[in-house]
C-alpha cells in the first residue's frame, strides 16, 4: 500500500468534495433553473454562490499544491480529476449566459 502525504490526502479530499458535492449540485441547480421561463437570473445567482463556495473551501495547502504542481500535464490531470465539477459549472454558466435553454436541451436529447 502506498502511503500518501498529508498534503496529498487533503487535496484528494478537496477534489472528491468538488466533484461529489459541488459538481452534482451545479448540475442539479442548472436543471432546476431550466424549469423557469427566464432561467438566466437564477443561473447567474447560483453560479456566483457556487464559485464563492468553492473558493472559500480552498485552504493554503491546496493552493500551494496546485501552484507547485503546475505545468501542462499536471493541469490536464487536475482538469480530469474535477471533470464533474467543470461539467456542472460550465452547464450552469452556459444557462446564465443564455447559451443553453430548455429548447436547446430538448433538441440535444432528440425531443
For the chain, the maximum distance between any two Cα atoms, rounded to a whole number of angstroms, is: 53
Q: Is residue 104 part of a domain?
A: yes
Q: Using one digit for the tens of pLDDT, what is the confidence trace for 56-91?
A: 877 776 777 777 777 888 788 888 888 999 999 999
Give the Cβ contact number of residue 47 at 10 Å.
Answer: 22
Domain with 68 in it: 12-109
Q: CA distances (Å), 73 to each of 65, 70, 76, 78, in order?
A: 14, 8, 5, 9
Q: Is residue 73 part of a domain?
A: yes
pTM of the model: 0.83
Q: Using one digit for the tens of pLDDT, what is the confidence trace for 6-45?
A: 777 877 888 888 888 999 999 999 999 999 999 999 999 9
Q: Is residue 26 part of a domain?
A: yes
Amino acid at each position: 500500500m502506498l502511503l500518501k502525504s498529508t498534503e496529498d490526502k487533503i487535496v484528494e479530499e478537496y477534489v472528491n468534495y468538488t466533484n461529489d458535492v459541488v459538481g452534482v449540485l451545479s448540475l442539479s441547480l442548472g436543471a432546476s433553473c431550466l424549469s423557469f421561463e427566464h432561467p438566466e437570473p437564477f443561473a447567474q445567482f447560483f453560479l456566483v454562490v457556487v464559485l464563492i463556495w468553492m473558493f472559500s473551501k480552498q485552504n493554503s495547502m491546496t493552493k500551494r499544491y496546485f501552484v507547485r504542481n503546475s505545468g501542462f500535464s499536471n493541469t490536464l490531470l487536475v482538469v480530469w480529476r474535477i471533470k464533474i465539477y467543470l461539467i456542472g459549472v460550465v452547464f450552469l454558466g452556459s444557462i446564465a449566459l443564455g447559451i443553453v435553454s430548455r429548447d436547446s436541451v430538448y433538441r440535444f436529447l432528440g425531443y
